[in-house]
Structure 1
């Protein structure tokens, strides 16, 4: 496994002081983050700088050992969802525990408490300057009462809720705003009482103006509709003119120039073209036939040996077929060799030896062994699951040690009961009863802190589970031996048949390939034998031909066959040349007759349509097409205008339409002006009414004032309840931590005196802040200390917490270069204090200061040197 720069690295730490000494980039911060991540989970990928994923690409994660109650637990965490996959093992009892037990094992320490107290560095010690008074108080309460974070958060939430409702000097809180609204409503109600008559007069004027406004709006809508209709007619006038123009074009007759006529003319023209092409082709053939009267050189050479060559030409067809068969056999031989080579490459041994095939008995034996092995593995997994369940039951029934914890279930119940008693006391009549009820609530909450749960033994069930675990472990050992025996028998079969290089799961599947290889080998031998049988006759035929025709001596066999076929063709052509010349002459006469007939049909077609040639025919056809397009375009324009719009335009002219549009626009403008005047008057009336009724009517204002007063009373009750509940929680937590907080403060004062060489001798926690006393008696707050001195104060408090709370929260102290702001003397004093504390708890100091190694002496201390990479 790996984490950051570390890969498969182990660190053995002692129970006392461990000084991990190394320069920068030696991995000190990596180890600190490793401890935190393994215990509490890996950060998400949104914070890659805190994940420390391995630099060498190995598996992300690691493990560490914890010691608690004389038991050693190993925590292993690897990459996975929700902070990583966790494995928890009790190495003392050799039991694997569920991952959900890890937070219980670390309780009451969580990630926040570990980082705030136990994992220290310069950054976390420096936060002492950033803490407000309330934050310092909450941290000390957290130190004094382990697990009080929930109740502190509840108290802070209640304080925030109370502040959101009321602040003496605030403006935004709810009750402050309600008080201001109450003053404003009271003033508005007084103003409304003096303007009642004017208000009704203005309301009457406003109603008349609104009626006039509605009448003008209807007239304006009709005028605008008239303007819109006339404007659309005027805009459509150019389209109407175009429609009229298209209707004035002259029309011509369309007989004889339709699409069918064009198709018929093209068919006749194609016949003429085809007849001309056939006539030219036959004329060309006649010329070629007449030009081939000169014989080729090979034919002249063959004439001299015709008697000897004729028997060989008679064998030409048979020899050609034999050559084709030989070419097919060569291709088949190449294919068989490639397929056999592919099988050998996959299954042959290193020395080229192919595995031997299984017999039927061996196949059945191997299948039986594999089935038995699968059953044995399945039985082993089932036994392991039963063993894990038994271990889980055994761990669950083990008696566990209960610690006193103010956040236990019963403590929470007692605290809730005390809270109910305190709230109920607020509603009791009389001050004496309220005080008695509040005191009773505090006593109940204080008593609940010290409730201790009892333990429940289950010895008999634990003994039965222990016996079952031993029996399951014995069965697992027997199953392992059975699996080893079956595996050895399977390996023996593989060795006997040269199958050692293949996984056993592939042996049966490989038998088909091994059988295919043997079949291919037999086919190769047969093909080779047939090639040898056809080679000798072919060689004899080639020798005989080249002896008679020396010009073919240097040609390959296929070229010789081609030349002999051409020789036969020439002989046949010479025999039929006279008959072919006569046939071509007759064909030329027929071609000329077909051409004359096609040309006459074309002439007749053009004459019946009163056109002279092809160009005039297509010109007349195009003219008729354009006439059809104009008719379609005129119909499209009529559709675009619409029948109603077209009828309107036919009843007027452009000048009349323009004049009507201008008149309608003038009328709409006058109506808009009148409507604007009325609207302005309405706005004036509304302003006057708003001025008179800015505070509302009398009845409305009185109702608003009554509702506001009711809401103010409810807000005041909620504010008192939140404030008193927060104070009760603070008092209860203070009481709960009262037995430990003084010890922590006292112990922190002793540590602080040692760290500062007795310059500061006392730490005091007041009701509002934390202060320290110098040796000369002067007091200083945290803000008045230097950075190093303030960090030493924070370190002293956290060391005191670790010592006082060790019995309930035993965790190691991890300090990662946290002393960089200490001077040499105080740093040395810190080392000595840590060495002394190492006798009581485990301290892990990661530093680059070589002076730290001088104090790590003793049987429980050690120094580990880190090197940078």
Structure 2
């Protein structure tokens, strides 16, 4: 960013004054009391605001009551020219930034273009007078000058040393190589304790995994034993059935020997088939008993029913045979009624059409008949 020119409406001894600057290096020089410091203060006021009552700087308002303020033309880094105008208004003045396209920006936009530095930082780095340069080579070495510029660029003043001491103090409060109370030292100790706990829990986890694997193996072995036990139980029950029938089998074999009958081959799973057939026979017997009871109940209900006499049946049959003829006569009667009603309506219509009037019985029409 470069300062191209300034236009003073009214500031100190300057009224309606315009100054052009070199675009490569901006310097203000002249005779004593020519207004060099006033012009420098004007640039500071336009960019950062007029001095307030809290600042130990003169406001340099015009004595004759002229318009207070002015404008500064800046060339931005991208080559665009803008006019920064600040006039009397609020404590630091009202500022407007006029863009080349005619739009107007506010002070927030200006601060962003100035990288948010304040007036003190600007004066320490970019704007200084001859008093600040006198005998600089006698009192400062090149390294000291670089440190001064670095301090001013970092914090806006020589407060860098104090800030560095404050940072060192804060660092000591947070961490000491052999300390115990600083916060970071305590956190490190907590981390170490957590690492120890993690190692212990890891050992427990390994033991837990080992026990879990052993439990799974034992569970699989138990399932195998349960299957074997189930098979043995089924075999034991089958043998118990065979033992229960051993007397009958021996008796059967004895009878076979006495009768000289060849031994019969016992069918495969004969005992199970016998038990199943026995259960089926029991079901069939219970079903037959239920059906017999139902038959007896139906017979009792049938005996209680009222059976009409044969003559009544014959009357019913005779009436049923006449049903079609009665329906036919009823339909003919309704048809005759409809035709009669229709004829009545036609007669009334004809009477109405010819102006027919009904004769009254109380009227003597004998004379009319004679004539």
Per the shorter chain, which TM-score range?
0.3 to 0.5
Q: Compute the TM-score of the two structures, normalised by the length of structure 2.
A: 0.38
Larger radius of gyration: 2
For CA contacts below 8 A with separation 6 or more, give which structure has more relative contact order.
Answer: 1
Q: Compute the TM-score of the two structures, normalised by the length of structure 1.
A: 0.17
